[in-house]
Amino acid sequence: MIHLEKISINQLICLVILTQIGVSVLTLPYAQIRNSGNDSWLSILIGGVLAQAVILIIYQLGKRYSDRSLPQYITAIVGKPLGSVVNFVFAAYFMENIFMVTITYSDIINRWVLFETPWFVIIGVSFTIAAYIASSTLRSMATITQMIMLMFLICFVIVLVSGMGKGDFRHLLPIGTHGIGPLLKGAVPSFWLYSGYELLLYAFPFVRSRKKKDIVMAVSAANGFTTFFYMLITVIVTYNFSESQLKSIPEPMVFILRKFRWPVVQSLDILFMTIWLSVVAVTVYVYLFMSARYLAFIGSKEIRNHPFLVWIIVVVCFGFGLGASDRQWQSRFSDYHNIVTAIMIAIVPTILLLISLARGKAAGG
């Protein structure tokens, strides 16, 4: 049985930051560069602001039902049968997310570090670890995340130090040549980099805080930090490579790390990717946990056996993952994934809030 103990504000911040930050750091400005070129960092900033807007929507929604989590109060908004459907859709979305993140990262590992290890071993191990972590309580997960935050800070230092090598700040200039249109267009692919705050939909009632406002402040701070980190990475990458070079490098950060030499560590990229594994793991296990929690509410009664649900989801994902080692297929899938993400984390909460507002008025009047 799952104990739903409360988590602290600090833990919430760590959870949100690390859920947001994932594999994409390695590939970062690749998607934006096609539209906004050397101004990608501005596109990333706009993406962060958009994410902030959605956080406010989610907060409004959570505040209205502050004693319950989304899978529980969804029936109060859209009714029983539709509520189950929405829960299932969310569970499926998270499942798809787990799948996507694990596959992308495993692919990177397979190409850069473990060349000879068979594909099914890599994804098998990743899924097993994620399932082991996700079958614990929210509070245990928050504790683990705080430990991983330390690892993340090590990565942060590595990125900062290695990025300041030989580069040219003129790569960033002139600012704003691409115009507003391409900037916004570049902001669209950066919007889903920020997914992770939808954790709040579920975690809202489990946060220990003096005022409800502290929660939105915490999530905003986390989002702010993520935005800053993404911008930093983009600036570092643009500083190191010119626009035309970047267009043909899918994983620029790995190159930057590889060319940097420390006296004690020769190949920083391997070290970085190893430590980065734990950061990616957070995204996977948080989504895995949530997927299982949403799934628990699809019936009329809550399914209490949380670890069982987690393992079922993992086995399904592993089954699909076996055939997903093809890179072409992965990139097509990722396009589809981005659209789904936008719908699930921005549009669905907005609609839910609108319905809830309309219902609230009807009930009040």
Partner 1 sequence: MIADQSLDQNEKSLKEMLFHSSDFKSSDFVAGHRHFRLFYFDTMIEFAVVQDHIIRPLLRNADISVRDAVTILEYSETDLLSVASQALVEGQTVVQIEGEPKLYLLGTQLNKERAVNIPVNERVLRGSNQALIENLDTNLNLMRKQISTADLVVKFYQLGRRSNTKVAVLYLRSLANENVLKEFDRRIDSIDIDYVEGTGFIQEMIEDKKFSMFPKMLITERPDRVKSYLLDGKIAILTDGSPNCLIVPVSFWAFFQTPDDYQIGWLFGSAFRFLRIICFIFAMSLPGTYVALVTFDPRIVPFPIALTLQSSMQYIALPPVLEALTMLLILEILREATIRLPSSIANTIGVVGGIVIGTVVVESNLISNMMVIVVALTGIASFIIPSYEMSTTARYLSYPFILMASIFGLFGLELSFLMVVTHLARLNTMGIPYFYSGISGDTIQDTWFRGPIRSLKKRPKESLAKDEMRISARRGGTE
188 interacts with partner 1 by CB under 8 A: no
Q: What is the CA radius of gyration of the chain?
A: 20
332 in Cβ contact with 104 (< 8 Å): no
Q: How far is the CB of 136 from partner 1 (least distance, A)?
A: 5
Size of the site for partner 1 (CB under 8 A): 33
* Interacting residues of 208 by C-beta distance below 8 A, sequence separation 6+: 6, 7, 8, 9
Stretch that binds partner 1, among 53-61, 128-136, 316-324, 340-348 (CB under 8 A): 128-136
Q: 237 or 280, CB closer to partner 1?
A: 280
> Could you give the C-alpha distances from 77 to 64, 69, 81, 291, in angstroms and in order?
11, 12, 11, 20
Residue 85 to residue 16: CA distance in whole angstroms: 26
Residue 96 to residue 99: CA distance in whole angstroms: 5
72 in Cβ contact with 297 (< 8 Å): yes
- Select from 23, 45, 74, 141 the one that contacts partner 1 (CB under 8 A): 141
Q: What does the per-residue mask of binding to partner 1 show for 244-263, with x meaning CB under 8 A?
A: -----------------x-x
Q: 141 or 256, CB closer to partner 1?
A: 141
209 interacts with partner 1 by CB under 8 A: no
Q: 177 or 267, CB closer to partner 1?
A: 267
Q: What does the per-residue mask of binding to partner 1 show for 144-163, with x meaning CB under 8 A?
A: x-xxx---------------
Helix (H, G, I), strand (E, B), or coil: what is residue 7? strand
Which run of H or of E encompasses 363? helix 348-364
Residue 276 to residue 14: CA distance in whole angstroms: 15
40 in Cβ contact with 236 (< 8 Å): no
Q: How far is the CB of 143 from partner 1 (least distance, A)?
A: 4
Stretch that binds partner 1, among 85-93, 111-119, 196-204, 241-249 (CB under 8 A): 111-119
- Select from 49, 89, 92, 277 the one that contacts partner 1 (CB under 8 A): 277
Contacts with partner 1, residue ranges (CB under 8 A): 8, 10, 109, 113-114, 117, 125, 129, 132-133, 136-137, 139-141, 143-144, 146-148, 261, 263-267, 270-271, 274-275, 277-278, 281
